[in-house]
Amino acid sequence: MAKVKIFLLVAFLVFKTSGFSQSLFDKLNSDAKTFAKNSVNYFSAPFQFNSKDIVRLSVVGTGTALLFGIDHWNKDFQGIDNKFFSSVMKIDSYYGTAWMFGLISGSLYAGGILSGKDEIRETGLMVFEAGLFSGITTTILKVAFGRERPYVSGNKFKFHPFSFGGNKFYSLPSGHATLSFAISSVLASKFENKFVKVLIYTPAVLTALARVYNNQHWFSDVFLGSAIGYFSGVYVVNLHKK
């Protein structure tokens, strides 16, 4: 009798494990297909821009160009001598970094899988897509523009297009600003409360400012990076609503 009970218990566990494995495989397969489809949609989107998209692109481009006029103010901004403010400006060592992006997207996705919460899993996937897509876009632009970082010569008009000269020539746009706004825009979309949205966007704004304060970027760099991250996040969220 005891052997029968053990056999039934083992059979039950095998059945449950098999069911979970199949369910997990189905979810991973579905997410892989979604990721592939969204990748194509994202990178082909510029060829399908409507009038509103062109207006947004023009506003971002014009805003970036206008900010060149105040980029030299970065030294005044960096001159703020306040211990609390200086400590807050260390946020760019965390938020907006590749490892934090991986931690947030991975934790949400894994948490959704383990808890069976599909919405959490999907949020993790959206963060991953938004960060990856916008990150690739920003990297391409960094190489194309080849703008010097402010610590190189201090000349905001020095560019080395497609020079592949390394990190010192990859100032425009800001990668940290891109990732931070990509993450925050996706997370903020999950809440209706405006105060909560402000809280979620706060670290993104601080990260963008920190990149200027720490002499890694010009104001125009972080503006363009923030715009790329924000609109990429919003675009990905809308793709998942379809």
pLDDT for 127-162, tens place per residue?
999 999 999 999 999 999 999 999 999 999 999 999
Quickly count: other Cβ atoms within 10 Å of residue 120's Cβ: 19
pLDDT value, residue 44: 97
pLDDT for 171-221, tens place per residue?
999 999 999 999 999 999 999 999 999 999 999 999 999 999 999 999 999
pLDDT value, residue 15: 41
Q: CA dihedral in degrees (110, 114, 115, 119; nearest 10)?
A: 40
Asked if the model's pLDDT at residue 12 lies above 60, the reply is no
Give mean pLDDT, residues 67-94.
96
What is the b/e burial string over 89-101, where b = at least 16 CB atoms within 10 angstroms of the residue's CB? bebbeebbbeebb
Q: By C-alpha distance, which of 34, 165, 154, 179 is closest to 100?
A: 179
pLDDT for 105-119, tens place per residue?
999 999 999 999 999
Q: By C-alpha distance, which of 231, 128, 126 is closest to 177?
A: 231
pLDDT value, residue 21: 64
Who contacts 236 (Cβ-Cβ below 8 Å, separation ≥6)? 38, 42, 126, 129, 130, 133, 186
Q: CA dihedral in degrees (191, 219, 236, 57; nearest 10)?
A: 120
Average pLDDT in the chain = 92
> What CA–CA distance (Å, rounded) separates 105 from 77?
32
Asked if the model's pLDDT at residue 20 lies above 80, the reply is no
pLDDT value, residue 188: 98
pLDDT value, residue 2: 54
More confident of the two residues 70 and 16:
70
